[in-house]
Amino acid sequence: MAREKNVRKIIKELGYEPKEHACIVANYAPDDSLGSKLIHFFTLEYYIMQLCEEEIVFLPLKVIFFAGMFPKKEIALRIPYDTLQSVKITEVNKLNYEVTFTTDTDTICLSVQNKEWSEFRASGTIATGNSFLNVGVLGAATDSWKSINWHRQNIDNTFSLLQNLPQYSVS
């Protein structure tokens, strides 16, 4: 799956300046409607959220897998820091965080899986490079799995960088 150094390399090739250890796995957060929750449950659309020097860049995970050799700048969603009105991080349950970005024109709400259960969930599978069967089946709680799970390693630093933005609001 996606190695952090490969993600940073692709981001650099696209012309951005990625910050070190500021890359996590995210997907769109469902709203309160049943339809939205069902779509979220059955969709495996994950994104790499990379904090860069001037902006936050989101790359669809399928780009990393299938187009990693030939990335195009047009496929990346980019939020320049100067367009942010607010950033909010909320723990919605013991398994996920909700990260909400409000810009000049829109609000984007993302779901980020927490690090404690990451090895047993999609974020850990993506970040460790293990199979779809997930790393939990193979003893994910061991230190060797935690050491290669960059989502787990980066979540605190990424959230800290977001919380240090002037637009961050305490929930």
pLDDT at 85 > cutoff 70: yes
Q: Could you tell me the domains of the chain?
A: 4-163 (2.30.29.30)
CB 44 within 8 Å of CB 113: no
Residue-wise pLDDT for 41-68, tens only, equals 677 788 889 999 999 999 887 766 665 5
Q: Model pTM greater than 0.85?
A: no
CB 32 within 8 Å of CB 114: no
Compute the average pLDDT of residues 77-92: 92
Dihedral sign computed on CA atoms, order 75, 80, 86, 91: positive
- Helix/strand/coil for 144: helix
pLDDT at 160 > cutoff 50: yes
For residues 117 and 94, give the distance between their C-alpha atoms in angstroms, rounded to a whole number. 9
> How does residue 86 score in pLDDT terms, banded at 50, 70 and 90?
very high
How high is the pLDDT of residue 142? Answer: 52
Top pLDDT among 140 and 4 is at: 4
Question: 133: how many CB neighbours lie within 10 A of its CB?
Answer: 9
